[in-house]
Structure 1
Amino acid sequence: MKVNCNECQKDFLIDLKEKKHPKGIIETYFVCTHCKNRFIAFVTNQNVRKKQHQMRKLQSSIPQIKHPSEYTEAFLKKLEDHYSKINNLKAELESEMKILKEQIASK
């Protein structure tokens, strides 16, 4: 993917790299090929990776209807509950990853 550097304003292709930190923290980043400015894409730890796995599992198991007769109030409630779990987990992930990114960026 081609992006434009915030620092030197030149275009470059992203080449994601990983750096392992203590306590199971993994930083994923890329570097501008022109000015060498470093951009942190995201940071995860064991807990975040576990929640990401749970998220993928929830997203792949979204309730489906096979026939219009199954489109009932009970089905809608089940679907609403499922999406509520996904949205709650997504909010937790965003918050945790933001904190991790701030911790790594401040070092």
Structure 2
Amino acid sequence: MSDDGYTRITLRIPTPLDEKLNVAARVTSKSKNAEIIQRLEQSFLDDDEASRAKILAPLQMIVPPADYKPLIRLLAAELSDALNERVFLGRSPSKQRDSIEEETPPEAQPPSKNS
């Protein structure tokens, strides 16, 4: 890779494909290089979208698309809660529980499992 953030490559492509790239570059007022980069980047985005669609397909059978955002918010909140239980300001869950119980007045604490 050079200092400009690009890697130079030599590429052999079929002549008809080269002609299509030349036409597409002219139509979009880009260089052929810019056209190739844009098309390659788009192909990766399309791959990502296809992967997402493949993952979401079973979900779409169960949950209507209008309910995705609330469901995602719920899942994000659950994940956040789970992570906070595992790591709370660098303390283990048992230390977290102890510190919360110390800070919480007895009348506001949930009943213990032993009672």
Fold equivalence (TM over 0.5): no
Higher relative contact order (CA 8 A, sep 6+): 1
Q: What TM-score, normalized by structure 2, do the two folds share?
A: 0.27
